[in-house]
Structure 1
Amino acid sequence: MMKQVGIHAIVSLITYLVTIAFSFRAVRGLRIDQLFKKGHTFEIQVFLLFISIALGFLVGQFILALVDQSLALKMLF
């Protein structure tokens, strides 16, 4: 039982890190710098980081919930 919890934790961490990395690459393609004043590069970078973390977390949650629910389907049979 404890081994399954550990495996689930590792899979969750890897899923979150991968989805955050993908969302960071996707968000970098947006022209967000037009929303900020000139010369505020640190604020733009922090905003991109936070948006990437939020989007990656949501996508990761969706993927993990989808996997958990699909594994729970075997309880029907």
Structure 2
Amino acid sequence: MRKTNDEFVFFYGENYMMKQVGVHAIVSLITYLVMIAFSFRAVRGLRVDQLFKKGHTFEIQVFLLFVSIALGFIVGQFILALVDQSLALKMLF
């Protein structure tokens, strides 16, 4: 038996879909920021000063920042995709 639109609004509330999108956005932002922070801590352990000329500390810092943002985004994207796909598994049953 399908629920009508009135039953859906009564049961879930009027802005159910918008709340769901908002929660997903907050979870995504937190995941990305945490993964960027973790990757920054990990990248700081690398000896990238050997790749740059001596005395170019600003360039090294910018490089570390960009690498950690890219790595954090990729890891965060993987984690979010894994969670989304695992939540979609319930559609099988």
Give the TM-score taking structure 1 as reference length. 1.00
More helix per residue: 1
Give, in whole Å, the separation in 1 of the partners of 2:51 and 2:78.
29
Q: Which has more radius of gyration?
A: 2
CA deviation vs aligned residue, 1:23-47 (integer Å, no higher than 9, x gap): 0000000000000000100000000
Aligned length: 77
* Structure of greater relative contact order (alpha carbons < 8 Å, 6+ residues apart): 1
Moved over 3 A (4+): none
Question: Residue 9 of structure 1: CA displacement?
Answer: 0.1
For the aligned residue pairs, the C-alpha RMSD in angstroms reads 0.2
Give the TM-score taking structure 2 as reference length. 0.83
Amino-acid identity (%) = 94
